[in-house]
Amino acid sequence: MSSPIFGKIFVSNVEIINTSRKLPGPLRARFCDRFACQLRGLTFRRSLAADEGLLLVQARESRLDAAIHMLFMYLDITVVWLDASKQVVDVQLARRWRPYYAPQAPAQYILETGTSWYDNFNVGDQIEFKEQPVD
């Protein structure tokens, strides 16, 4: 299997590192580059651990492809959109059961995590993904 951020190594989890500002603690995200994983997303989840997220990876930068819905979501989330260079292009607090959220600029990566992370990301921040051991 292949991953667009780590070449030939398949990665199922990454640590999210904001190189522009120190995060209050670790943030780990499940790496999600397959259609079935993206389709399911966080739908039907009732909670997220404080350090948990989902990183949706698109094939290219796009506003439309990076749009999300919140139908069948039982919790509000923070959504951080990143371009191909992993720079934050938009951050929004996404409310449950809303039909549509899209980034202000084209994005390739969509980080979905708990609402407590909202104030830790700003447009222009540079993000890195650090490979985590596969369980």
pLDDT for res 43: 79
d(CA 16, CA 91) in angstroms, rounded, equals 15
Which of residues 43 and 101 earns the better pLDDT score? 101
What is the CATH T-level fold of the domain 26-122, as seen in this structure? Answer: Jelly Rolls (2.60.120)
Distances (CA, A) of 79 to 17, 99, 117, 132, 133: 15, 14, 9, 21, 24
**Domains in the chain: boundaries:** 26-122
Identify the DSSP state of 99.
S
* Side chain identity, residue 92: Q
Cα angle 78-110-26, degrees, rounded to a multiple of 5: 60
| Residue-wise pLDDT tens digits, 114-124 | 999 999 999 99
pLDDT for res 8: 40
| Residue-wise pLDDT tens digits, 47-88 | 899 999 999 999 999 999 999 999 999 999 999 999 999 999
Residues 34, 37, 41, 42, CA torsion sign:
negative
pTM for the model: 0.87
d(CA 52, CA 54) in angstroms, rounded, equals 7
Token pair of 26 as six digits: 């670790």
Long-range contacts of 30-34 (CB under 8 A, 24+ apart): 30/54, 30/55, 31/3, 31/5, 31/55, 31/57, 31/129, 32/56, 32/57, 33/3, 33/4, 33/57
